[in-house]
Amino acid sequence: MISRDWMEAPMHRDDNPDVSTRYAAIGHRVQWAIGWARGALLLACLCLPVLAQAANRPTVLVMGDSLSAAYGLAESQGWVALTAARIARTHPGWSVVNASISGETTAGGASRIEAALARHAPSVLVIELGANDGLRGLPLAQSRANLERMIVAAQAAGAKVLLVGMRMPPNLGRTYTEGFAGNYAALADEHGLAFVPFLLEPIATDRDAFQADNLHPVAAAQPALRDHVWPVLAPLLD
């Protein structure tokens, strides 16, 4: 099953797209009377077995940007939802939570990671962040530190981590573009992560694979992204 973490990840329009055009895509208070409190306590006790069962479900938590939030599409069409459907068939009992936010940066992810881990206790964390950092020209060291904070926190919580990378177009300069891609590879190597170097690799040069903004993949391209990530994700579910 897949769920959208609405409290953590409100959907909104992305004014800072995730890839460059140089790629074809790249309460009021509740007052409890004593009687109500007792009733609520009884109800909570009755629900404990159900809640415990839900809490024991292994979970994949995805923290990404608009590329994982199915920007411009129905959520069910995005690669995360398609992956969740495959997981439901191949690994019954697992759940998928999509906490991706359009426009998210690595700083946003780092600021949310502790609460997300505490709330969902994921067995697997998928991190797909960084493109918005690159498009804004944020310092590479800052982006790397943010990603590393997420990775270290997840591993300390007992979660396996899949790092999904992005690439920047050459117009940002060779030093920056190589350093940007290098951040992901270095972090994956240093922390022993499952690693997909470039999410959009299967479709990056196909203009028809992108929406009118020339930035976000169309629905028809989402299965290719799912299939690109799957061989790296699937072993983490065993």
As annotated, the active-site residues are: 66, 213, 216
Torsion of CA 140, 146, 148, 154, to 10 degrees: -160
Report which secondary-structure segment, H or E, holds 81: helix 79-90
SS3 187: helix
Strands 2-4 and 95-98: parallel
- The answer to whether 58 and 236 have CB atoms below 8 angstroms apart is no
Helices (H) and strands (E) in the chain, counts: 7, 6
The whole-angstrom separation of Cα 68 and Cα 70 is 5
